Structure formats: C-alpha cells, structure tokens
Structure 1
Amino acid sequence: MLLRMKQKIMPTLTQITGTHEVPSDLRRQLVDCWIAVTNAGGAAGFPFPPVHDDDVAPVADELLSHLDPSRSRLIIARFGEALAGWVVLKSDPFRLVAHWGTVHHLQTHPGFRSLGVGSALMRELRTVARDELGLEQLRLTARGREGLEDFYGRLGWREVGRWPSALRFAPDDTRDEVLMLLDPL
C-alpha cells in the first residue's frame, strides 16, 4: 500500500528550454502558481502580497523570454495536467563563472504542498545542471526565518554566508538573505 501511494503522488517532471515550448495554458498555470505561492506567504520573488495577474504576468513573460538551451532552463512538476510547481536554473556565459549556476523561484503550488514536489524539482535541477549543462556547483539565495535553510540542507545544500538584515518587509520585520551552495553536484 505504501509503495502504491508513493507512486501515485510522484509528479511528472518536464524540462523546458525555450519560450516556444510554453503553450498558453502552461503560461497561465505558471502565473497562477506564482500568484498563489506569493499570496500564501511564499518567498517567490514578490515580497509584498497580495499580488495579482498584472503584477506577475509581465515578470513571468520576461523570465520565459530568457529560456535558452545552453543557459536557462525551466523545470516543471505536474500531477496529470495540473502544475504542481516549478523552478528556474540559470548559468552565466561569462567564462570566469561559467562552471556554476543559480537557482531561481522554486515554487510549489499551495494545493500540492507536502507531496515532495519541491524536493523532486531540486533533485531534477541538480541532475540537469550536472549532466546537461556541465555545471560544477549551484548557488541560491533564500529569505531568512522561513525554514528554507533546513529544507535545502536536507537536499545537500550548505549555508556559505548571510547578508544580515538585507530584506526589510516592514519596519519591524527585517531578515537576513541566506547564501547557499551545492557543491559538488
């Protein structure tokens, strides 16, 4: 029974390397997911909820316009046709730092939390970074006091620094920005 249950809840992961691979229904789901995650308090790039379509759609379109097979990938997780989450991996073409990539916007739709979606996306991202983009390490920044350090730590990431009080959400809510590294891949 447990094995069957685990198989039932594993998302299908898909890698997207160009805007032409994003049909309008997927774009809509990406925007809706970003809105839902942000408005539920998620650390997804919009620090001051609530956000609406006119806030998120242009940013999503800009992000999608920069997808490139050699430098930027979108990885999505689905259960059937429903988008459960997504993450972006970017590498830099500048030779000095071409060996590392940066993780952006890991999101799990609130309706799919606690099903391993975020972990599955991060494991897939690691494989893509290593095997397809030839990267040697990954970096990300996380909002402090969200429990994200523990989440990433369970996936092999380690904290390498902090920008103290870098993020001010309100006069009485200032948080560190946490710098994390996954090395080696």
Structure 2
Amino acid sequence: MKQLILPTLTGITGAHEVTAGLRRQLVDCWIGVTNAGGAAGFPFPPVLESDVGPAVDDILGRLAPARCRLVTASFGEELAGWVVLQRDPFRLVAHWGTVHHLQTRPEVRGRGVGSALMRELRTVARDELGLEQLRLAARGGEGLEHFYGRLGWREAGRWPDALRFAPGDTRDEVLMLLDPL
C-alpha cells in the first residue's frame, strides 16, 4: 500500500508574511485551478495574471490575525493549495466564519491537500479565532457537496439556479455549514 505524504500547512495572518515568491505561486495556483475548470471564484476561464493578481492582492490586504487568515499547503517549496477564512466583522454574527477560495493545484489532486487544508482551517477557526460555526457557498453540479460532506459539513440550503455560466448551464449555489467546530 502506498503511503500518503501530507503537505506542510502554514497559517498566515498578515500580508507581511507573504513573500513575492509565495504571492506568485498563489496567483499561479488560482490561474491553474480556474483554467482547469475549478470552482474557485473566476467562473469564466481562461483567466490571466491580470485577472487573478488583483484578486490575490485584495485577499492579502484583508489578512489580519483576528479577522482574516490564509492557510497554505506545500510540498517542499512548492505551493499545493490554499484557502481563506474570514470572520464576520458584525458583533451579532462574530461567532461565524466564512470559508473562501479553497483550491488545490490540479496536478496534486487526490493527495489529500484539500482535506488537509479544511481540517487545519477548522482547527484555526476553533482554537485560534474562537469561532463556533463555519459556512461556505459551493458551486452545484461539481460534486463539492460530497467532498465537504466527508469532512463533516452539511448542506444548509440552496439558491436554485443562482449561477449562470452560459445559456442552458445554470447551477445552484449550495450553502454549507460546519457546526459545531
């Protein structure tokens, strides 16, 4: 039986922790995931550096220890995937966190990278941010409900036909919940 080698996971709480090389790998990962058909925030491939770079910079600009975290997964010096966790700033719902942009490089799919990122994110949310619940929205028709379901998430609802990719290609947005952490 082949032994699964898990990636090294790193939590990042501020843009100052992101080197130019890591920023480049974040952008390249997002381009690769999107252009391979992944549901990672850009629904209309192909995308280029000029599309993705500003979005990465926006995420990095929002990083803050108590409010927004980036978790990366790497094999050696090579970025394998990443995910963002954001705490809601409003006191009424400050016990919630929202997961954004989970993605793994297409060439490392099936090696446990996405699952490892989501498990680490859960730990960060609970132990470091004191969150009680996590939520995310996933693109229907991609099998993502099953992936998240294996990690303890449950479907909380759907926005029917919320996402229109082309005439005749309209999908639900699936609302997922992880509770308790």
The TM-score bracket by the shorter chain reads: over 0.9
- Give 1:119's aligned residue: 115
Note the 1:8-157 alignment, pairs <5 A: 9-157=5-153
* In 2: Cα distance, 1:150 partner to 1:119 partner: 12
TM-score, length-scaled by structure 2: 0.99
TM-score, length-scaled by structure 1: 0.97
* In 2: Cα distance, 1:57 partner to 1:73 partner: 18
User: Which residue identity lines up with residue 93 of structure 1 in the other structure?
Assistant: P
Instruction: Show structure 1 runs of 5+ residues with no match.
Output: none
Paired residue secondary structure (2:100): strand
Paired residue secondary structure (2:127): helix
* In 1: Cα distance, 2:161 partner to 2:89 partner: 31
* In 2: Cα distance, 1:45 partner to 1:119 partner: 19
Aligned length in residues: 181
Tell me which stretches of 4 or more aligned residues in structure 1 moved more than 6 Å: none
**Residue 93 of structure 1: how far off its partner (Å):** 2.1
Over the aligned positions, Cα root-mean-square deviation in angstroms equals 0.7
Note the 1:162-181 alignment, pairs <5 A: 162-181=158-177
* In 2: Cα distance, 1:92 partner to 1:44 partner: 20
* In 1: Cα distance, 2:112 partner to 2:67 partner: 26
**Residue 111 of structure 1: how far off its partner (Å):** 1.2
User: Which residue identity lines up with residue 123 of structure 2 in the other structure?
Assistant: T
* In 2: Cα distance, 1:72 partner to 1:114 partner: 27
Paired residue secondary structure (2:37): coil
Share of identical aligned residues, percent?
Answer: 78
